[in-house]
Structure formats: C-alpha cells, structure tokens
C-alpha cells in the first residue's frame, strides 16, 4: 500500500513537497524560522529521504538509518512537537497529491509508517543526548587559505573534542548563511592539536560554499554536526588497496592515507595505488601533499591525471578509464573512491569490469542538489519515460570538481 501510493505521489513530487511545506508553515507558524530562506535544496532532500525509506522498507538497516537521521536532526532543534506536526502535514500532502489513490487503508498505512519513522529518529536523538553528544560543535577558524578564486582550505579548532574517523564528513553551518547546513569531508586523520581541515569548492549559486570561500575569516566560529560517512578504512594492515580521488574528493582520501601513514606498520610499506584526478593540471592542488604521503608510505604509487590544455574537463575521466586497465590485481584490491556523483557513476562500472568485487568498492553517494525533475503527467508519458527515484544515502557527502 505504501509503495503503490508513493508511486502516484512520486510522479507529482514537486507539487507534493510544496504542499507539504505550505501546510506545515500555515498550521505551525513558529516552525518557519527553523528552516533556511531558500527552501529548494530542503525540498529535494525531503523527498529523497522519503524515497530511501520506501525503497528500503524490508532492509534490516533501515532502523539504523533512521536513528542516524534523528541524531543528525538535533542540529535543527527538532522537538517531539515538530515530529508530530511534520507527520500531520506529510499525510495531508500525500492525500492531496495521491488523489483517487488515497484511501482509508492508505492513510492508515502511512500514519503507521510515519509513526515508526518518528519513533526511530527520536530514539537516535535520545541515545545521542544520553551519551553526552552535543547537537553541534563550535569550531574556530584558525587558518583560511585560498588556492584559486573557487577553492579554499580551512583549518578549524573545535572547542571540545570532535570524535570522527578518517574518511568521514561533517555538516557545516555559518552565521553568514543562517539555518543552512552543508556537508564537507574532513581532510585529515587525527592530530595532536585536535584541528580539522576542510576543502571547500565554490558551487555556482551555492550560498554556503561562497561564504566559506570568499567571506569567512580567521577567528570566526563555525558549527559542525555529528560526523558520518561510509568512506572509512576497511582494509587489513598491509593488504592491497587503491584510492581514486577527483576534485575535492581528495579530502577524504587524504585523511585515509594519513591514517595509513600514522599506523604502526607504515614503515613496512603497503601495496597501494593513488589516482589523483582533476579537470586541468593547475587544479591538482593536492599534489604537494600526495608527494609527502608517498615519502611516508613505502609502496604507495601515485598517478596524476588531468585533461589536456584547452580540452573539456571530462577528458580527465576518460584518461582515468584508460589508465585503470594498465594496473593489475584488481580482484585483490579494496578500492576507495571519492568524487562528484557523475564521476562515480562513470568509474564504478569500469572497476567492476576489471574484476573488482563491488562489495569492496567503498564510496559515499549523493546526487547533486537541484530542483526536483518534472514528472510525467499521463500514463503514456509514465511508460515512455519512467522517472528516476531521488536516492539519498545517510552516509552522504558531495565532493565537487575544484
């Protein structure tokens, strides 16, 4: 029942989500101030999360996903009353968008489903609070470096210890862009002074990335959400592994390599490969640090790939695809992959074709944030061009080309 009604609503996704927020804010006026001024990214993420839940109803990992979501939503100051208001508006929006497909049975199914979702999210939030985890961490900007007009490296000093694993990301918020959170990978392994490094690439039209690149200054305070991410080390010490990073996907890969360099067996060497990819040679900003890591990790082989001068930036991906088959032993390697969504989509099939076990390719997934696509309006259009679901991964990060 849930899937059949969702299939109808999914065709009218933008209409349904717009109705949802209108209903929520009209019936709960004080709630609007919890949300950012620009609601378009928020609307996309809401429907993407709904799609994830609907498509993973039988997944044993779903409660854990929802608990993580609830833990993360503490930074939005989500209260029990807000959960109840969201549930009422969600049912109202689905009833409006589903039309004749909305029945008493459908309403009962969705009410029960949302009750389960809210219960698991509140459980995650409660467990985090009981463990003493703050809703967010304040962190002072102690260094701000510009590499070009669109790329900045920020060094942050949290006011209290920030527990994370190399390869993870954290949500970042600034008072310059109120109530907006964006995820960025943490670009270093643990340091004695507790500082964290972020690589921020300006996104066209992106308020947060523009603020972090152009406006934020040393001494300012940013907020960090609880860390998350699936791009953490799974490889046994000394076992072979390959790292592939494109653009600011270099940030989590750099953290993973630093973890190897700090390990007790680093001096023994490993069988490791690094492919560092950029849209042009001048954008290989990670090259100096990669060279230093090569000196610290015996056995690390580094390959730099960029588009030729005056050629489209997509040529870098084409060059990578040609370079990968020249390496052997792919079935023996764990592969850590980080880059823009399109880059991942092109690279994953190549790795599997070379014999890499899909279960040993580790990466985070998140589609680029944009407006919800237009849905087919008729049954004929539906069959001719079925819409793609908007996927959402709780362990998500969105690295970009610099």
CATH fold of 137-224? Elongation Factor Tu (Ef-tu); domain 3 (2.40.30)
| 137-224 against 241-362: fold identical | no
Structure tokens at 181: 């959170």
Measure the CA–CA gap between 117 and 377, rounded to whole angstroms.
Answer: 30
Q: What are 151-171's pLDDT values in tens digits? A: 999 999 999 999 999 999 999
Structure tokens at 120: 């698991």
CATH number of this structure's domain 241-362, picked from the four choices 3.40.50.720, 3.30.1540.10, 1.10.10.10, 3.40.50.80:
3.40.50.80
DSSP letter at 228 equals B
Q: Provide mean pLDDT across the span 325-332.
A: 93
**Which residue do the tokens 């527990």 mark?**
163
Going through 9-150 in order, the beta strands assigned E by DSSP cover 137-148
Q: What are 342-372's pLDDT values in tens digits? A: 889 899 999 999 999 999 999 986 544 344 4
Going through 360-401 in order, the beta strands assigned E by DSSP cover 361-362
For the chain, what are the domain ranges? 2-132, 137-224, 241-362
Count Cβ atoms within 10 A of the Cβ of residue 326 and give its class: 0-12 exposed, 13-18 middle, 19 or more buried: exposed
Alpha-carbon distances of 80 from 33, 87, 92, 119, rounded to whole Å: 17, 11, 19, 10
pLDDT grade, residue 267 (50/70/90)? low
Q: What are 74-96's pLDDT values in tens digits? A: 988 888 889 999 999 999 999 99
Structure tokens at 387: 């819409």
Measure the CA–CA gap between 359 and 348, rounded to whole angstroms.
Answer: 12
The overall average pLDDT reported for the chain is 86
Q: Which CATH superfamily is domain 2-132 in?
A: Globins (1.10.490.10)
Q: Provide mean pLDDT across the span 384-398.
A: 38
The residues pairing with 73 across neighbouring beta strands, listed in sequence order, are none
How many CB atoms sit inside 10 A of residue 118's CB?
19
pLDDT grade, residue 301 (50/70/90)? very high
Q: Is the pLDDT of residue 399 over 60?
A: no
Higher pLDDT, 371 or 296: 296
Q: Is the pLDDT of residue 385 over 60?
A: no
Range of 52-56, 137-141, 277-281, 387-391 with top mean pLDDT: 137-141
pLDDT at 178: 87
Instruction: Report the share of the chain in percent with pLDDT over 90.
Output: 62
What's the N-to-C CA distance of the chain in angstroms?
44
Measure the CA–CA gap between 85 and 49, rounded to whole angstroms.
Answer: 17
Q: What are 224-248's pLDDT values in tens digits? A: 999 988 899 999 888 999 999 999 9
Q: Provide mean pLDDT across the span 191-195.
A: 95
Map residue 292 onto helix, strand or coil: helix
Measure the CA–CA gap between 180 and 39, rounded to whole angstroms.
Answer: 10
Predicted structure pTM score: 0.82
């Amino acid at each position: 029942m849930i899937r059949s009604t969702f299939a109808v609503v999914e065709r009218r996704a933008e209409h349904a989500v717009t109705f949802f927020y209108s209903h929520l804010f009209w019936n709960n006026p004080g709630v609007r101030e919890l949300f950012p001024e620009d609601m378009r990214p928020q609307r996309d993420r809401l429907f993407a999360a709904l799609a994830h839940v609907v498509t993973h109803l039988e997944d044993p990992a779903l409660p854990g996903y929802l608990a993580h979501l609830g833990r993360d939503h503490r930074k939005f100051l989500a209260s029990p009353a807000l959960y109840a208001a969201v549930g009422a508006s969600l049912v109202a929006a689905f009833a409006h968008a589903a039309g004749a497909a909305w029945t008493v049975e459908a309403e009962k199914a969705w009410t029960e489903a949302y009750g389960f979702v809210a219960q698991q999210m509140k459980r995650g939030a409660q467990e985090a609070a009981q463990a003493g985890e703050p809703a967010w961490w304040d962190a002072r900007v102690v260094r701000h470096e510009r590499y070009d007009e669109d790329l900045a490296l920020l060094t942050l000093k949290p006011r209290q210890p920030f527990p994370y694993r190399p390869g993870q990301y954290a949500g970042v918020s600034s008072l310059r862009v109120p109530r907006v959170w964006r995820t960025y990978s943490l670009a270093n392994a643990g340091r004695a002074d507790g500082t964290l490094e972020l690589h921020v690439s300006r996104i066209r039209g992106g308020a947060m990335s523009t603020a972090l690149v152009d406006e934020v200054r040393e001494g300012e305070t940013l907020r960090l959400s609880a860390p998350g991410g699936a791009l953490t080390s799974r490889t046994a010490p000394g076992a072979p592994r390959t790292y592939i990073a494109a653009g600011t996907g270099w940030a989590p890969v750099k953290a993973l390599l630093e973890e190897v360099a700090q390990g007790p067996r680093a001096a023994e060497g490993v069988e490791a490969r690094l492919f560092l990819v950029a849209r042009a040679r001048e954008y290989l900003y990670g090259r100096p640090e990669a060279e230093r890591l090569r000196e610290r990790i015996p056995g690390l082989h580094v390959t730099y790939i960029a588009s030729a001068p005056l050629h489209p930036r997509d040529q870098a991906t084409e060059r990578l695809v040609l370079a990968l088959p020249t390496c052997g032993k792919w079935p023996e390697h764990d592969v850590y992959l980080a880059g823009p969504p399109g880059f991942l989509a092109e690279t994953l099939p190549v790795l599997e074709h070379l014999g890499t076990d899909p279960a040993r390719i580790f990466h985070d997934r998140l589609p680029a944030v944009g407006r919800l696509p237009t849905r087919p309006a008729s049954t004929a259009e539906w069959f001719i061009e079925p819409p793609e679901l908007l996927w959402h991964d709780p362990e998500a990060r969105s690295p970009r080309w610099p």
